Amino acid sequence: MRMILVGAPASGKGTQAKVLCERFSVPQIATGDMLRAAKAERTELGLKAASYMDAGELVPDEVVIGLIERRLQGADAANGFVLDGYPRTVAQAEALGELLERLGQRLDAVVQIEVPREMLVERAVQRRTDKRTGQIYHLKYNPPPPDAELEHRVDDREETVVARLETYEKMTAALLPYYEGKGLLLRIDGVGTPSEITERLLRVLRKG
Ligand code: AMP
């Protein structure tokens, strides 16, 4: 399984990517997670990315393209992957296409998780991650256990989420027609419980 999950901030991409990766025994490759790790380690790349991330803007293409090229050549990605949050621009999509061609690999699907904008801000503001496990919770709808070590992403503050939603809308305006033109784009309704969304995902992937 080689697939891309596309969705606005807090649309459930990360949650679903984790489930799909377990199911298909492939790695989840999330540029957002990789960039946050680089930022926390204060690497050169992380420091370069930080100001864009904190403003809810896209990190420059050359930075993320280099990151993903190295990652996809890792041995664990040889038999498949779920890309979560990459590509976000047509330039990134083209670089990915060229890399996969060089590696003799082919994408199976691009799935867009659709959630109305008004629900996304609330989801992001209420989202918490357990630092130790990476598990994602919603304070009201999917409350964390009492012993979780919770973190709230700095870019999940309301004002930054609004900027990230705008960035997302601009991005999808170009990216989705690109994959639609290649006959790879599938769409699912992202409103429901995590397990309902997983079922929808598996159903569209079976139908292709
Ligand atoms: P995410 O965890 O996917 O919401 O990503 C968090 C932030 O990392 C985004 O708001 C961007 O600043 C940056 N980022 C993640 N993936 C990409 C990408 N493919 N292209 C550019 N910036 C990215």
Residues of the chain with pLDDT > 70, as a percent, come to: 100
Which tokens go with 113? Answer: 């998780």
Give the confidence band of 207 by pLDDT, cuts at 50, 70, 90: confident
The overall pTM is greater than 0.85: yes
- What is the pLDDT, as a whole number, of residue 10? 92
pLDDT beyond 90 at 58: yes
pLDDT beyond 80 at 6: yes
Residue type for position 194 = P
- What is the pLDDT, as a whole number, of residue 173? 86
Query: What rounded mean pLDDT belongs to the chain?
Result: 94
Alpha carbons 123 and 195: distance in angstroms, whole number: 17
> Residues lining ligand 1, CB < 6 A?
9, 31-32, 35, 52-53, 56-59, 64, 85-88, 92, 155, 164
Give the confidence band of 178 by pLDDT, cuts at 50, 70, 90: very high
DSSP code string of 9-64? TTSSHHHHHHHHHHHHT--EEEHHHHHHHHHHTT-HHHHHHHHHHHTTPPPPHHHH
- The CATH number of 2-115+173-207 is which of 3.40.50.10900, 3.20.20.70, 3.40.50.300, 3.40.50.800? 3.40.50.300
Q: Domain spans of the chain?
A: 2-115+173-207
Q: Give residue 157 CA to ligand 1 midpoint distance, Å.
A: 15
